[in-house]
Amino acid sequence: MKFGKQIQGQQVPGWSAYYLDYKFLKKIISSLAANRPASEAAALALGVRPSDPISATSQPLHSPLGSRSPASILNDSPGQPPIFSSGNDIGRGPDFQAHKAAFFFKLERELEKINAFYLQKEAELKLRMETLLSKRRAAATRGLPDTTGDATQSHVEWSAVEEGFRLLERDLGKLQVYTCAYLHSDLWQTSI
């Protein structure tokens, strides 16, 4: 199975916007294979439709988390080491270099998006866990639920805490599926 279909099939429902935009990255590569101009690659990396002119008024389809401009995709800042330079690419033309820069720019934005979402979910789950532990300690100080006598309030409190832990466990599982989507795939063996 191809990686794009595999990752799409393993997505947590409702979280699809926070996964790697594999199709968009593939469009940049296809643009190079079709010998399209470098400006199209820059547009794709920013999420602008290639038919739209790249200007200050163009709105990206996917808001990039970085603040680099289209020009900086094509001309890296001298103060920043290029993370994607390779000795094998020296003889390649400017269109290849532009497509490569655009691809890695988009890839960096995608990784930032994935990381930001993960950190947000992790913080939410950590807060829920702390809240549940606090509620459990409070319920424990009032005593364990008793099936005899007037212990209805205590039983309801313990049931709510147990249900909270079940929901937390479910959501932890969803986050685990999200993080493992890339690790347990044949990404490293699949060709684009």
Express each pLDDT in 76-109 by its tens digit. 444 444 444 555 666 677 888 888 888 899 999 9
pTM of the model: 0.68
Whether the predicted pLDDT of 27 surpasses 90: no
Tell me what the mean pLDDT of segment 178-184 comes to: 77
Q: What is the pLDDT of residue 125?
A: 98
List b or e across 123-143, with b for residues whose CB sees 16 or more CB atoms inside 10 angstroms: eeeeebeeebeebbeebeeee
Tokens coding 49? 């439709």
For the chain, give the longest Cα–Cα distance: 85
